[in-house]
Amino acid sequence: MIYLNAFLFTGTVCLIGQLILDNTKLTPGHITVIFVVIGTFLDIFNIYDKFILWAGGGALVPITSFGHLLIHGGMEMASNIGYMGLMMGMFNLTASGITSAIVFSFILSFLFQPKD
Amino acid sequence: MDNNKYQDIVNRKTPKENVLYNGMIAFFVGGFIGVLGQFLMELYAYLFHISQSEASIFMIMTLIFLGCLLTCLGFFDKWVTFARCGLIIPITGFAHSMMSAALEYRKEGLIMGIGANMLKLAGSVIIYGVVSAYAFGTLRLLIMGG
């Protein structure tokens, strides 16, 4: 059942993105930024956590979860050591994603030639 | 030719996007990636006997690796022009933007090429993510106290 939820959630997010892309003059860069900001916004009242419980991995795949993980790491640290924790813990949960993306693309750029 | 007339002709000649078709493609491709994410998460949790939250980190790294590798092999660019937001909105789009920038600028050198340009597109995601997370985090601390 969670597979169906994952399918519906990711599909709906992508559908909304596609509708914005087709009906406005925004580029894909604008749309990813909009979705990241929406992801952080939805974490204010813990709404995104409910999505993750409902759709499992399907809610972690879209770029909205990147924003959610940023604020989530910050809030987790802030609950331990106060306001400064927001800055200290910001990258705690997203570090793996950013590091792996940088390392993989750096190494692979030496192994492959650009295709046209 | 006055401006309104010109705009009229431009509007008429611009190819119309089939909104419904594009939307369905994005929906199904995106949904498939969501299912793949959930499947990988349960697979890693089962194989390595780890919790779901640790498995989700492995799952995201796997998807990023697949995005990078398929971009290198040249498939991903074609798929992106076909599925559009179905592949841009998932984390694979983030990996794709980094990988294609790294490949494109490698010939300009290590520092001024790869180093300066790799985060060109992904940087906007990181910057706006961090700034908005900071702003909304402050707001949440003020309103709810944690």
Ramachandran quadrant class, B119 (left: phi over 0; alpha: psi -120 to 50; beta: rest): alpha
Query: Which positions ≥6 away from B10 have C-beta within 8 Å?
Result: none
Give the whole-angstrom CA distance, residue A33 versus residue A51. 20
Structural tokens at position B77: 């660019």
* Least confident window among B13-22, B62-71, B135-144: B13-22
- A116 confidence band (pLDDT: 50, 70, 90): low
Residue B68 contacts residue B61 (beta carbons within 8 Å):
no
**Cβ A77 vs Cβ A89: under 8 Å:** yes
The predicted complex's ipTM stands at 0.92
For B57, which of A33, A96, A114 is closest by C-beta distance? A96
- C-alpha to C-alpha distance for B85 and B66, rounded to whole angstroms: 17
**Candidate from A10, A37, A108 with C-beta closest to B99:** A108
Find chain A residues with C-beta within 8 A of B98's C-beta: 101-102, 105
Token duo for residue B136:
């909304």
Which neighbouring-strand residues pair with A62? B90
| Helical axes A64-81 vs B122-144, angle rounded to 10° | 40
DSSP A62: B
Asked if pLDDT for residue A115 goes beyond 80, the answer is no
Give the tens place of pLDDT for each residue, A53-111.
999 889 999 999 999 999 999 999 999 998 899 999 999 999 999 999 999 999 999 99
pTM summary value: 0.90
Quote the mean pLDDT of chain A.
91
Q: Which of A2, A16, A32 to mutate to test the interface with B (most CBs of B within 10 A)?
A: A32
Q: Which residue in A has a C-alpha nearest to residue B127's C-alpha?
A: A33
- Whether residue B6 contacts residue B67, with contact meaning beta carbons closer than 8 Å, is answered with no
Q: Note the pLDDT tens digit of each residue in A19-57.
A: 999 889 999 999 999 999 999 999 888 899 999 999 988
pLDDT range class, residue B14, cuts 50, 70, 90: confident
Q: Is the dihedral of CA B103, B61, B138, A83 positive or negative?
A: negative
**Residue B134 pLDDT > 90:** yes
∠A27-A29-A32 over CA atoms, to 5°?
A: 115
- Say if B66 is an interface residue toward chain A (CB within 8 Å): no
Listed by start position, the domains of chain B span 3-144
CB contact under 8 A, B34 and A12: no
| Amino acid, single-letter form, for residue B110 | L
- What's the CA gap between A53 and B116, in Å, rounded? 39
Alpha carbon A74 to chain centroid distance? 15
